[in-house]
Amino acid sequence: MKRSFKFLGAAAVLLVAMSFQIIKTQLTVTIRNELGNTEQGVSVQLFETEEDYKNETNVAAQGVTDAKGVVKLKDLKATSYFVLAKKDDKDNFGGGEQTGKLEANRINKVTVVIQ
């Protein structure tokens, strides 16, 4: 009888754990200016290829930084991306900012400098 209760308890824990959503691949991008301060209101775009990055076509994901200079991009592929960040006359274009390969089902982080 005790064994069956232990088994049922373990099965219940497993079912509860499985019901929680697994984290999808995400990228948190922090934007800083040339002085190292974070920048609010920066448009951030991700591209899968360098050609798309240079031509600014086929955007894979995009967003705008919050008051802390951060934008969170979700539901991404576990691949590397080219990052384009722009605000007014500041950007990172030409720097060829590329992330490393994102880890699947993780919250990945990168910092980009605009000037």
CATH number of 49's domain = 2.60.40.10
Collapsing DSSP to helix, strand or coil, 10 comes out as helix
pLDDT at 60: 98
What's the total number of domains in the chain?
Answer: 1
Q: What is d(CA 82, CA 57) in angstroms, rounded to the nearest whole number?
A: 12
Task: State which residues form the domain around 69.
Answer: 22-113
47-51 long-range contacts, Cβ below 8 Å, gap at least 24? 47/81, 47/82, 47/84, 48/77, 48/79, 48/81, 48/82, 49/82, 50/82, 50/96, 50/98
Instruction: Read off the pLDDT of residues 81-96 as tens digits, 9 standing for 90 and up.
Output: 999 999 999 999 877 7
Instruction: Read off the pLDDT of residues 24-77 as tens digits, 9 standing for 90 and up.
Output: 999 999 999 999 999 999 999 999 999 999 999 999 999 999 999 999 999 999
Residue 13 lies inside a defined structural domain of this protein: no
